[in-house]
Structure 1
Amino acid sequence: MTIFNLGSINIDKVYRVPHLPGPGETLAAREVTEGLGGKGANMSVAAARAGARVLHIGGVGGDGKWTVDRLTEYGVDSRGIHIGDTPTGHAIIAVEDAGENAILLYSGANQVIDPAHIADWLDTGTSDDTFVTQNETNAQREGAELASSRGMRVAYAAAPFDATRVQEILPLIDLLFLNEVEAQQLTEATGLSPEALPVKDVIVTLGAKGCRWIDTDTAETTEFPALKVTPVDTTGAGDTFTGYVLAGLDRGMPMAQAITQATKAAALMVTRLGTADVIPDLREVRDFNP
C-alpha cells in the first residue's frame, strides 16, 4: 500500500523573533535556520516516519535539488519529483517565543506541475492506496479525479484555504482535514456545516483544544483532546498530524487509533523548532509521555 502525495516542496527560512512583527515594523531576528518545508513535504516526511510507503509527486527548481535528496534520506520515494526551470518554492517564517508563527510564501515550482506528470505516477495506484493533496500546488482536481477513478482513498488538506478550490474537489474527497477557521470559512462558502458535507470522514483540528472527527455515514462526532505541552514552534504540527493519520489508516488502524497516535506526534512536534527536518519518527512518538 502506498500514499501518493501531490504536494508542495519549499525551502524554509525560519527567523526566531521576540514577537510577530506588526505593520511597518522592522524587527531584528535572534537566529535564522534553513530547512526543508512545504505542507506537502511535511506530510510526506511525517507519513514516512510513521511507517508508511510514500511517493511524492511535485516539482522543484535547480536550486532545490537538495530538498529531493533530503526527502529521500527521510524515507520518501522522490522519483515523482520533477526538477525544472522554475525556482523552488520558499517560505519566510517568523516564530515568536510563545511558538506562534507568521509565514510569507512563494509558490514557485509548486504551481507549474504538469498534469501529465501526475497522471504517469498515479497510473500505478490501486484501491489499496491513498492519494492526498493540499492547496499549495496546481492540478489538485486533476489529481483527485485520476486517483478516484482508480479507486484510491482521496484525502485533502484544505490549506491554505481557498473556497473555490475546495468546492471544486469536494465531490471527490473521502477524507477532509480542516482547522477550525477553515471549517467556518467552508460553512460560509457552502452553507453546509462540517457534519453535512458530502465527505465520509471530516477531521477538524482545534489547535490546543485537540481535534474533532466527524463520521458523516453514522452522524457520530468524536472529540480528541490535545496533549498538554509547552510549545516552541507550531509550524508543521498540522502537517505532522495529517501525515500520521494517513499512515495509521494505510497500516490498517481504525480511525480513532490513527488520530490518537497523530495527536501525540503533533504534540511532540510543537516542542521542536523547525519543520520537515524535525518531524518525529514512530519510535519517538510511541515513547513520548508528556
Structure 2
Amino acid sequence: MKILNFGSLNLDKVYKVAHFVREGETISAQEQNQFLGGKGLNQSVALARAGIFVEHAGAVGRETTEFHALLKAEGAGTTYLRVLETVSGHAVIQSCAGQNCIIVYGGANRMTRPQDVDAFLKDYGPGDLLLLQNETSCVRYAMEQAREKGMTVAFNPSPIDGSLTQDVLALADVLFVNETEGGLLSGTPANENETVLTALAERFPRAAVVLTVGGEGALYRKGGVLLRQRAYPVKVVDTTAAGDTFTGYFLAGMIRGFDPGKCLRCASMAAALAVSREGASASIPTWREVLDFSAAQGEPLESLRGTGAAAL
C-alpha cells in the first residue's frame, strides 16, 4: 500500500492570549511564535513519525523553502510538492488555556488544478491510500479520481464550507471529524456524540466514521460496530495539532494491520502526547514515544503488532 497525502501547508503564527478576542476589542498577546503547520503537513508528519512512508502532494509559495526541508527531514516524500509564484498558506492562531481559535488563508494551497491532481495520482492505483483535508482546491476531483483508480480515500473535511455536499462526503472510505464538524455535517447537536456518530454513519454508510471529542476521547462507527476510546489524562498545553496527530496515527495503525479498536487506542495516545507540548508539527510524537507512553499506561502497543493493512 502506497500512501499519498494531498494536503495543505501553512505558516502558523500563534498568539498566546488571556482570552479570545471579542468583536471590536484589541488585546495584547502574552507571547508569539511561528511554526510550520497546516492540517496536511501535520498529518504527513504524524504518519512519518509513526514509521509510515507518505508522499506529500501540495503547493507552497516561493518565499517558503522550509516545508521541503521539514518533510524530507521527517522521511516523507516531496515529489509532488510544487513551488508557485504566490504566497504560501498561513494561519493566525489564538491560543488560550490550551484551546485555540484559528483563521486560515489558503494561498498556494488553493492553486492546485485538475491537471496537477492527474499528475500526482498517475503513480497510484488499487490498494493505495489517498488522504485529504478541505484546505486545498480540487478536493472533489481528487477524491473522484482516486475512487476511479480503486484507492482507499481518507477524508478530514476541515474546515467545513459550502463545497462539502453530501455526494462529496460520500466518496470517503474513512471520515475523520471532531465534535463541532460532526454536528454541522449531521445536523444534530454537537454535544450528543453518539447521536452525531449514528447520523453520520447512516448518511454515509460506506465510510468508517471516526469522531474525536476532545477530553472525552473518540468514537468509531462502521455498520453495526460502535467503539469508544477514552482520552488519556495529560496536562494540556496546546491542542493545535491534536486532531491531525490523531488522524495520522489512526491511519498508521490501520496500515500496520491494527483493528479499529487498536487504531483508536494508538491515535488517542499519540494525541495525548501532542497536546502536552507546544506547536503544530513540532508537537507530534514519534512512534517510540507513543510506545513508551503506552507502556506507562499499562496498555503496551508493542503487543499489538499488525500483519498488514486492516479493512475498516
TM-score (norm 2): 0.88
Q: Distance in 1 between matches of 2:184 and 2:108?
A: 28
Give the match for residue 3 of structure 1: 3
Q: Is the CA contact (8 Å cut-off) linking 1:264 and 1:285 kept in structure 2?
A: yes
Structure 2 unaligned spans of 5+: 189-195, 298-312
How does 1:67-82 map onto structure 2 within 5 Å? 67-82=67-82
Measured after TM superposition, the shift of residue 123 of structure 1 is 1.3
What corresponds to 1:233 in structure 2?
238
Cα distance between partner residues in 2 of 1:199 and 1:64: 39
Deviations 1:166-214 (A, max 9, x none): 424223211101111211211229x981230233310111111001100
* Matched position secondary structure for 1:60: strand
Q: 1:76-130, CA deviations, whole angstroms, 9 ceiling, x for partnerless residues? A: 101111101121000111111x201111211100011122122112111132321
Q: Which runs of structure 2 are paired with 1:47-196 in the superposition (5 Å)?
A: 47-96=47-96, 98-162=97-161, 164-188=163-187, 193-196=199-202
8 Å Cα contact 2:170-2:207 kept in structure 1: no
- CA 1:14–1:181 in structure 2 vs 1: closer, same or farther (change >3 Å)? same
Contact 2:235 2:276 in 1 (8 A): yes
Distance 1:127 1:48, change over 3 A: same
In structure 1, distance between residues paired with 2:161 and 2:274: 26
Mapped contact 1:9–1:41 kept (Cα < 8 A):
yes
User: For 1:261, what is the secondary structure of its paired residue?
Assistant: helix
The answer to whether the 8 A contact 2:205-2:222 is kept is no
The offset of 1:51, in angstroms, is 1.0
C-alpha contact (below 8 Å) 1:72/1:78 kept by paired residues: yes
1:26 aligns with 2:26: yes
Query: Partner letter of residue 178 of structure 1?
Result: V
Give secondary structure in 1 for the equivalent of 2:87. coil
Alpha-carbon separation, structure 1, partners of 2:167 and 2:258:
29
Q: After the TM superposition, which residues 249-264 of structure 1 pair with which residues of structure 2 at under 5 Å, given as runs? A: 249-264=254-269
Q: Work out the CA distance in 1 between the residues paired with 2:249 and 2:292.
A: 15
> Cα deviation per residue 1:43-95 (whole Å; 9 max; x = unaligned)?
01001111111011100010122122112111210111110112100011111
For structure 1, the 5+ residue unaligned runs are none
Distance 2:92 2:102 in 1: 6
Q: Which runs of 4+ in 1 moved over 4 A?
A: none
Structure 2 distance, partners of 1:202, 1:124, is 28
CA contact (8 A) 2:250 2:264 kept: yes
After TM superposition, the structure 1 stretch with the greater mean CA deviation from structure 2, 25-34 or 275-284, is 25-34
For residues 199 and 271 of structure 1, what CA distance do their matches in structure 2 show? 35
**Structure 1 residue 164: deviation in Å?**
3.9
Correspondence for 1:43 = 43
**1:9, 1:88 within 8 Å by CA — same for their partners in 2?**
yes
Q: Take 1:230 and 1:113, find their aligned partners in 2: how far apart are those partners?
A: 39
Letter in 2 for 1:193: A
TM-score (norm 1): 0.94
Matching residue within 199, 211, 220 for 1:213: 220
The 3-state SS of whatever aligns with 1:70 is helix
SS at match of 1:73: helix
Q: Return the alpha-carbon distance in structure 2 between the equivalents of residues 107 and 272 of structure 1.
A: 26
Secondary structure in 1 aligned to 2:58?
strand
Please tell me the residue identity of whatever aligns with 1:209: E
Deviations 1:212-258 (A, max 9, x none): 10012xx1211111111110011010011001111111222222211
**Mean CA deviation greater in 131-140 or 245-254:** 245-254
Q: Distance in 2 between matches of 1:108 and 1:164?
A: 18
Q: Secondary structure at the match of 2:183?
A: helix
Q: Distance between the aligned counterparts of 1:284 and 1:148, measured in 2?
A: 35
- SS of 2:278's partner is coil
Q: SS where residue 164 of structure 2 aligns?
A: helix
Higher relative CO (CA 8 A, sep ≥ 6), structure 1 or 2? 1
Determine helix, strand or coil for the equivalent of 1:101: strand
Amino acid at match of 1:195: A
Structure 1: how far apart are the matches of 2:176 and 2:162?
A: 14
